[in-house]
Structure 1
Amino acid sequence: MNQPYPNEREPNETRQTATYLSKRLAQAGLRPVTRFGQNFLIDLNLIDLIARSAELKPNDVVFEVGTGVGSLTAKLADAAGAVLSIEIDANLHQLASEELSGRPNVLLLKGDALRNKNALRDDLMGHIRDAIARIGDDARFALVANLPYNIATPLISNLLHETPYPDVIVVTIQKELADRMVAQPGTKDYGALSVWVQSVCRASIVRVLSPKVFWPRPKVDSAIIRLDAEPEKRAAIPDLKYFHDTVRALFFHRRKFLRSVVISAMKGRLDKAEVDQVLASLGHGETSRTEQLTVTELQQLVEALRQAEAKKATS
């Protein structure tokens, strides 16, 4: 970093603008890094909306991915009991550390939130569990962030597998991705992600955002989405990993008839006659397609396949 972060604070009205951010980064010899998916939200009202939409309380532990310059982080820290924020850009991590100094309820980490596309960074959940333990039994876990586009899907999908999993998620993501999360059967956006998210959460789009509220401007619209955990629905799925993996396999060839898709997904585990027996027991005909099945119907199908596979393994 070429120059120290300026000590003088500008009024709130001027701090979160493209001009302010560009000057601020230029003073530090920085500029947005494309490979990190850096698009700063420059409308302070929308930053407020993200924080408000999570309805944070003093017993909340908040996880933020993409600290940036710390604008949203500060608002989260004002409302929540503890904030864990991670930033992959070492220079932005340093800027945010200076901005957020003196806040004992904020822990800033440097690096990637993901170890790979199928797993979170090894120490993240340990930090979150530690914070929850400090707050007590009534602690609530939330993910609140302006997410980089390139990690939104694996991050959310992986977090929904974790223990603890977020009670609430409020994030800014690509609108196309938000549309997939809330999509209904038979629509073009309905797929494995729709089923996975809706099987464990209640999903709703809070606000659609145009590219002009970001700097640099992305080429697509964004959306603030809220996901609320539904523990009863989650508990009704006996094996989350089996369910998630099987649903993804069933949507791999979404336009094909359901029978051929299931046969392909269960290759080496169930033969055609066994697949036909499962489908017949659930009333799925020859013209059924995966994309037409409701979330509940897919849950029933995957569980029937799991039980048939388990029965075969013990026979």
Structure 2
Amino acid sequence: MDKLGIPKNTIDILNKYGFVFQKKYGQNFLIDTHVLEKIINAAEISKEDFVLEIGPGIGTLTQYLCESAGRVVAVEIDKNLIPILNETLAPYDNVTIINEDILKVDIASLVRDFNDNKPIKVVANLPYYITTPIIMNLFENHIPLSGVTVMIQKEVADRIKAVPGSKDYGALSLAVQYYAKPYIVANVPPNCFLPRPKVGSAVINLIPYDNSPYQVKDESLLFALIRASFNQRRKTFINSVTNYEGLTFDKNTITEALDALGLPRDIRGEALTLEQFIAISNYLSANS
């Protein structure tokens, strides 16, 4: 099978099957071999690795993964792509194609069944419309991960990597940075895809912590405080938290927490570091 990273080969296979792009699935197929090689190199894939690919499309990245990894499981939602995948991946005996919606797949049991519960690598050109739920699903469900290397919208990559006080900093930045260290590998322009997306993309590497540097008494409280802060990001932290439906703290309790930790009473959530959010969360856990 010819390599699909070459535009002509991609167009030929799409024409052969009369494939029609589905906007609802956010389908943009990579047609740049340099970008594909960057993804494989960034993920540091070896024959020891089990790789989960989300949204393989016509199998462009999958071909590269099959050549580098020990085993690949590719989860594709669009049933119209399955016959194409069966052809483009026919030369490889180390790949399994699953026709499912990744958000409905029990990834934990998939890892148990296919990889004996050992850590996996997730590598994907992610559909932009479900990027955040996919990434959070992997981390919040504590899937055993040794790495996540994904192509996502550049704007989302910037948000994941953002620091306190910047316009991109928000709940997603804090949530991902709690679980992993983010690193932007490459920015990818729209002309590397078919069809061309309207926005730029980026390959981001998320390296999960082996041992978390953070000690948190109550993870669900921590994330509720983070969500509350960015729900109304122009408000002070005190007002955001006391107005948030999912929390029941009064102003005095939150003020006490900030005072005890030496933080200004008028501070906004967007100015707080992850460590400060954790300190507030732990204080409230211990004192309320």
Q: TM-score range by the shorter chain?
A: over 0.9
Render the CA deviation track for 1:241-268: whole Å, top value 9, x for unaligned.
Answer: 3322331122111111111112223776
Matches within 5 A, 1:24-173: 24-101=13-90, 103-115=92-104, 121=105, 123-133=106-116, 139-173=118-152
CA distance in 2, matches of 1:273, 1:168: 42
Match of 1:220?
199
Matched, 1:291 2:241: no
Render the CA deviation track for 1:86-111: whole Å, top value 9, x for unaligned.
Answer: 11111212211222235343111002
TM-score with structure 2 length normalisation? 0.93
Render the CA deviation track for 1:62-109: whole Å, top value 9, x for unaligned.
Answer: 111111111211221222222111111112122112222353431110
CA separation of 1:227/1:158 partners in 2, compared to 1, >3 Å: closer, same or farther? Answer: same
Q: Does the 8 Å CA contact 2:74/2:95 hold for their aligned counterparts?
A: yes
CA separation of 1:307/1:101 partners in 2, compared to 1, >3 Å: closer, same or farther? Answer: farther
CA distance in 2, matches of 1:95, 1:20: 12
- The aligned amino acid for 1:129 is R
- The aligned amino acid for 1:226 is N
CA distance in 2, matches of 1:154, 1:73: 22
Q: Which region of structure 1 is more displaced relative to structure 2, 159-168 or 44-53?
A: 159-168
Match of 2:154?
175
Pairwise CA RMSD: 1.9
Deviation at 1:151, TM superposition (A): 1.1
TM-score with structure 1 length normalisation? 0.85
Gaps of 5+ in 1: 1-8, 116-120
4+ aligned runs moved over 4 Å, structure 1 = none
CA distance in 2, matches of 1:276, 1:239: 20
CA distance in 2, matches of 1:24, 1:83: 22
CA distance in 2, matches of 1:200, 1:70: 29
Match of 1:22?
11
Matches within 5 A, 1:238-257: 238-257=217-236
| Alignment match of 2:258 (pick from 279, 300, 303) | 279
Alignment coverage as a number of residue pairs: 288
Deviation at 1:41, TM superposition (A): 0.6
Matched, 1:196 2:175: yes
SS in 2 for 1:251: helix
Deviation at 1:158, TM superposition (A): 1.1
Deviation at 1:176, TM superposition (A): 0.2
Q: Which region of structure 1 is more displaced relative to structure 2, 227-236 or 276-285?
A: 227-236
CA separation of 1:271/1:191 partners in 2, compared to 1, >3 Å: closer, same or farther? Answer: same
Q: Which region of structure 1 is more displaced relative to structure 2, 168-177 or 56-65?
A: 56-65
